[in-house]
């Protein structure tokens, strides 16, 4: 397959490709809208055989993880208790984690909409790599925080954290070594995470909704 002609390195920032900061309360809607546009603009490009040219933590609380997670076996919580626990999970730091995670994924997807993301190593270094590193660290922050009360939802929440951590490592190494295949693999992972995250956030919010509606 013919390779693209690589353009010379140029200043990485363009008005069209500037990453946006997404308010925590609108992260699900914003991610869904951006995902639709991002797929159209990047899916074909990520399959091209080209090469890259040379060239903070959850909110603090007074509760410890051990206090929040009893070591003794406990019966399955009632829907009312589960709702109250999920509401607490969001208020004590979960909302911060989900908003930060969403913002970093959005930043990667937004940067991918610029053609330079796949042809300009300088652009990838300055506009994408920092978010890859941030997503590596976020996985550790999420693991340090107590789990989502619903075990099934916790499994769904853990999966994108693990995947984003591995993709972040691949992204960083690919940019450093100029390996496009590895870079494209990492970007596809982030795009897939962007597709599935809004539904996950909606699930967490709905599980806490009954607690918020109580008098």
For position 140, what pLDDT does the model report?
A: 92
Mean pLDDT in residue range 95-124: 95
> Which pLDDT tens digit goes with each residue over 180-198?
999 999 999 999 999 999 9
Contact (CB, 8 A) for 213 and 84? no
Selected residue with higher pLDDT from 143 and 54: 143
Selected residue with higher pLDDT from 38 and 136: 136
> Which pLDDT tens digit goes with each residue over 116-134?
999 999 999 999 999 999 9
For position 132, what pLDDT does the model report?
A: 97
Selected residue with higher pLDDT from 43 and 110: 110
How far is residue 104's CA from residue 107's CA, in Å, rounded to a whole number?
5
Of the chain, the end-to-end C-alpha distance in Å amounts to 64
The owner of tokens 């997807």 is 109
pLDDT at 64 over 70: no
The string of DSSP letters for 4-17 reads PPPPPP--S--GGG
How far is residue 206's CA from residue 213's CA, in Å, rounded to a whole number?
11
Output the six-digit token pair for 165.
């951590």
- Listed in sequence order, the residues at least 6 apart from 206 whose beta carbon sits closer than 8 Å to its beta carbon are none
Handedness of CA 65, 71, 73, 74 (dihedral sign): negative
The string of DSSP letters for the chain reads -PPPPPPPP--S--GGG---PPPGGGHHHHHHHHHHHHHHHHTTGGGS---------PPP-S--HHHHS-SS--PPPPHHHHHHHHHHHIIIIIHHHHHHHHHHHHHHHHHHTSGGGGT-HHHIIIIIHHHHHHHHHHHHHHHHSPPPSSHHHHHHHHHHHHHHHHHHHHHHHHHHHT-HHHHHHHHHHHHHHHHHHHHHHHHHHHHHHHHHH--
How far is residue 186's CA from residue 164's CA, in Å, rounded to a whole number?
8
């Amino acid at each position: 397959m013919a390779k693209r002609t690589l353009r010379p390195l140029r200043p990485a920032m363009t008005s069209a490709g500037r990453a946006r900061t997404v308010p925590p309360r609108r992260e699900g809607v914003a991610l869904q809208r951006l995902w639709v546009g991002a797929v159209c603009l990047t899916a074909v490009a990520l399959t091209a055989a080209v090469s890259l040219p040379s060239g903070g933590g959850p909110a603090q609380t007074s509760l410890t993880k051990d206090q929040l997670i009893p070591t003794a076996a406990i019966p399955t919580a009632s829907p009312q208790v589960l709702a109250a626990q999920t509401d607490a999970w969001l208020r004590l730091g979960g909302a911060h984690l989900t908003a930060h995670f969403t913002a970093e994924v959005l930043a990667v997807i937004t940067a991918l909409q610029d053609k330079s993301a796949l042809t300009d190593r300088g652009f990838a270094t300055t506009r994408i790599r920092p978010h890859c590193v941030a997503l590596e660290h976020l996985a550790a922050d999420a693991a340090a925080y107590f789990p989502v009360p619903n075990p099934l939802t916790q499994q769904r929440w853990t999966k994108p954290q693990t995947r984003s951590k591995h993709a972040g490592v691949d992204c960083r190494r690919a940019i450093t070594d100029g390996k496009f295949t590895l870079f494209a693999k990492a970007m596809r992972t982030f795009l897939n995470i962007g597709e599935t995250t809004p539904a996950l956030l909606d699930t967490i919010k709905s599980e806490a909704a009954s607690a918020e509606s109580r008098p």
